[in-house]
Chains A and B, each alone.
Chain A
């Protein structure tokens, strides 16, 4: 019972806060759009971190799963946009259908995650990266050639139903899920796989099953993120889900520190706002919009440069595997810290007291 209350606490806080933000930002559409972009990227980064960071499997096709969720959710909403749930007011009915299409989109993405993951997670390291990369591209090419999804022009007319509230509620959900996974025995098994797969197996961890599960969870949330994305863009085009998008998410989690959920969040916020900030700076410096217009092109080399610098100066990423809540004032009380490793390493004379 206490556990249930504790589990609901983040939502009890988030719901009124988000509702208030929603009202406050009613007159600032640019800010809202920006916050939605940030939100979607956080969901993508935090979910990918479950696979790449916690489990240590390198997937670089997250945009593929996002695409699945975006198209499935988008088509579903388009089809149901003519209908409403009779006993509910129109706004509420729309949001319920929206939630439904997010979940269905996520579920289909999860199914793809299972199908892709089951054979490929038996492979190690580079092979998984290649398979996921290939999958992302296959999805994009298939979508590009399917009438139902609008081919290269994209799927247009998806009802605009994403609000700041719903998008960030998804963010809260994915963060809570990621933290819960991390803190559970399930999460410990994932960390064990990341650290040493053979040893994890020796401990009795069913490594394949756990890898597939974490992959499926990550794919689900990538699908949901795609759904959220589709419902504020209104047009879903294959060009949104290229290899570049996948790499963007990978850069976020590597920069934030593989394995750190809060690191992924911070990096996602920073790297999403970076182009916007850059645009303003370029506009102010050059005076005309020529260079500012090219921010989208400048962005990727900049990311690359950032990554190189980061790897040189701080290879473990911004946060390493640690979380914001493990640091400073958030730190849980623990037993007094043990003596430093130096003072204790075996000097022959001291050995008998320490070792029986």
Chain B
């Protein structure tokens, strides 16, 4: 197993989206040779990855490796300098967020991005901002409350008064309000207690089981690899390794670099 993962890593270093050894479902999102820079500073140099239908895909890496930049480019908040991004085979590189949300892309940005001065309900309503089917929205709000019962208790409360874990729950629930097919999550475990993290990841699995594909960015490699069907390791703007979550967890390099073993 270890050798298989290592050979995969070697082949992906050449920046071609090499066919994965394990059978993966057809791609919902695929990113090819993505370059992003902030002025003179290059953040991504040729990132290629894909998210299959119904998969949870994790993107792990150290601080500054380019994880957030990748998500931002995918969700239309950054314009890539070069490279292709396709959703369902349709090219979407360079298109803005407000054009991508209706296509089924939802992004729960880094640091949760909760509207602190608005109520929980108003936050959820904004999650469904581009939808106009009132009944569907209310149904999804109920779904959100079923997933996160705590939010129901606090629906009239100002989001700023929620605890960190509740805010993260709200961020996920809000992202789901647009009825996404692809959910982009940026560091959902950031600054949370282990028990809360566990709850959130349990719910992410449940959400995934309803057919929502998830692209998960995490620094907590152990956690991310545990839940991911497939994972990529990002280092200084390039994918250096990929494989199933389980395979990568077993790799020596990963254990040393990210799990501290």
Pick the contact of A355 from B101, B154, B155, B199 — CB < 8 Å?
Answer: B199
What 0/1 readout, one digit per residue, does chain A (329-356) give for beta carbons within 8 Å of chain B? 0000011011101001110100100111
Give the distance in Å from the alpha carbon of A191 to the alpha carbon of B154 in the complex.
20
- Say yes or no for A199: interface residue by CB 8 A criterion: yes
Instruction: Name the residue of chain A whose CB is nearest to the CB of B76.
Output: A201
- Give the shortest distance, in Å, between A320 (CB) and chain B (any CB): 9
Chain A CB within 8 A of B130 CB: yes
Q: B159-171 interface mask toward A, CB cutoff 8 Å, 1 = contact, 0 = none? A: 0011101000000
B126→A203 contact, CB < 8 A: yes
A202 interface neighbour in B77, B147, B148, Cβ under 8 Å: B77
| Contact indicator A204/B97 (Cβ below 8 Å) | yes
User: Is residue A282 contacting chain B, with contact meaning CB distance below 8 A?
Assistant: no
Report whether A204 and B101 are in contact in the complex, using a CB–CB cutoff of 8 Å.
yes
B106 nearest CB neighbor, chain A only: A202
Instruction: Report B149-163 residues with CB < 8 Å from chain A CB.
Output: 149-150, 153-157, 161-163
Chain B contacts with A in 87-128, Cβ cutoff 8 A: 96-98, 100-102, 106-109, 113-118, 122, 125-127
On whether the beta carbons of A203 and B101 are closer than 8 Å, the reply is yes
| Among A195, A199, A203, A346: residue with most chain B CB under 10 A | A203
Tell me which of A195, A344, A345, A355 has the highest count of chain B C-beta atoms within 10 A of its own C-beta.
A355
B38 within 8 A of A: no
Is A78 interfacial (CB-CB < 8 Å)? no
Residues of A close to B114: CB separation below 8 A? 196, 199
Residues of the A chain whose Cβ atoms lie less than 8 Å from the Cβ of B244: none
Instruction: State which of A185, A195, A337, A341 has its C-beta within 8 Å of the C-beta of B115.
Output: A195
Identify which of A198, A199, A204, A339 contacts B153 (C-beta below 8 A).
A339
Known contacts being A195-B118, A321-B117, A338-B155, is A204 close to B196, with CB within 8 Å? no
| B50 within 8 A of partner (CB) | no
- Enumerate chain B residues within 8 angstroms of A195, measured Cβ to Cβ: 115-118
Whether A355 touches B150, Cβ cut-off 8 Å, given contacts A191-B118, A196-B113, A206-B98, is yes
- Contact residue among A185, A338, A354 (Cβ-Cβ distance under 8 Å from B129): A185
Q: B162 contacts which chain A residues (CB < 8 A)?
A: 341
Q: Is the CB–CB distance between A348 and B195 below 8 Å?
A: yes
Q: Are A201 and B97 in contact (CB under 8 A)?
A: yes
B178 on the A face (CB < 8 A) = yes
Query: B150 to A203, Cβ gap below 8 A?
Result: no
Is A188 an interface position by the 8 A CB rule?
A: yes
Minimum C-beta distance from B60 to chain A (A)? 22
CA distance A351 to B196 in the complex (A): 10
Q: How far is the CA of A206 from the CA of B100 in the complex (A)?
A: 11
A355 touches B149 (CB 8 A): yes
Q: For A204, what are the chain B residues with a Cβ–Cβ distance below 8 Å?
A: 97-98, 100-102, 129-130, 178
The answer on a CB contact under 8 Å between A202 and B113 is yes
B56 to chain A, nearest CB (A): 19
Closest A residue to B77 by beta carbon equals A201
**B154 x A202 contact (CB < 8 A):** no
**Across the interface, which residues of B come within 8 angstroms of A76, CB to CB?**
none
| A353 closest partner in B (C-beta) | B149
Q: How many residues of B contact A (CB 8 A)?
A: 45
Q: Min CB distance, B20 to chain A, in Å?
A: 29
B115 & A345 in contact (Cβ 8 Å cutoff): no
Q: A128 to B211, alpha carbons, bound, how many Å?
A: 43
Q: How many Å from the CB of A26 to the closest CB on chain B?
A: 46
Q: 8 Å CB contacts to B: which residues of A172-226?
A: 185, 188-189, 191-192, 195-196, 198-206
Shortest distance in angstroms between A98's beta carbon and chain B's nearest beta carbon?
Answer: 40
Structural contact, B98 and A338, CB atoms closer than 8 A = no
What is the bound-complex CA distance between A202 and B107, given in angstroms? Answer: 6
- Closest residue of chain A to B193, judged by CB? A346
Contacting residues, chain A, for B75 (C-beta < 8 A)? 202
Please tell me if the beta carbons of B153 and A192 are within 8 angstroms of each other in the complex: no
**A335 B127 Cβ-Cβ under 8 A:** no
Given the known inter-chain contacts A198-B77, A204-B98, A355-B150, please indicate yes or no for A335 contacting B156, CB distance below 8 A. yes
A51 to B245, CA, bound (A): 48
A192 touches B115 (CB 8 A): yes
B178–A351 contact, CB under 8 A?
no
Q: Please tell me if the beta carbons of A338 and B125 are within 8 angstroms of each other in the complex.
A: no
A157 to B165 Cα, complex, angstroms: 66
Contact of B98 among A185, A201, A334, A344 (CB under 8 A): A201
What residues of chain B lie closer than 8 Å to A191, measured between beta carbons?
A: 115, 117-118, 122
CA distance A199 to B171 in the complex (A): 10
Beyond A188-B122, A191-B118, A355-B150, whether A203 also contacts B178 by CB under 8 A is: yes
- Residues of B contacting A356 in the complex (Cβ-Cβ under 8 angstroms): 147, 149, 199, 203
Give the residues from 100 to 157 in chain A that come closer than 8 angstroms, CB to CB, to chain B: none
User: Whole-angstrom distance from the CB of A216 to the nearest CB of chain B?
Assistant: 19
Do B108 and A202 touch across chains, with their CB atoms under 8 A apart?
yes
Q: What's the nearest-Cβ distance from chain A to residue B175, in Å?
A: 8
B contact set with A: CB distance below 8 Å = 75, 77, 96-98, 100-102, 106-109, 113-118, 122, 125-127, 129-130, 147-150, 153-157, 161-163, 165, 174-175, 178, 193, 195-196, 199, 203
Q: Apart from A335-B155, A346-B195, A356-B199, what are 10 other A-B pairs with CB-CB below 8 Å?
A: A191-B122, A195-B118, A196-B114, A199-B113, A202-B175, A203-B127, A203-B129, A204-B130, A338-B156, A341-B162
Chain A to chain B contacts (Cβ below 8 Å), 6 pairs: A185-B129, A188-B125, A191-B122, A198-B77, A199-B115, A321-B117
Task: Give 4 closest A-B pairs by Cβ, nearest first.
Answer: A199-B113, A204-B101, A195-B115, A202-B107
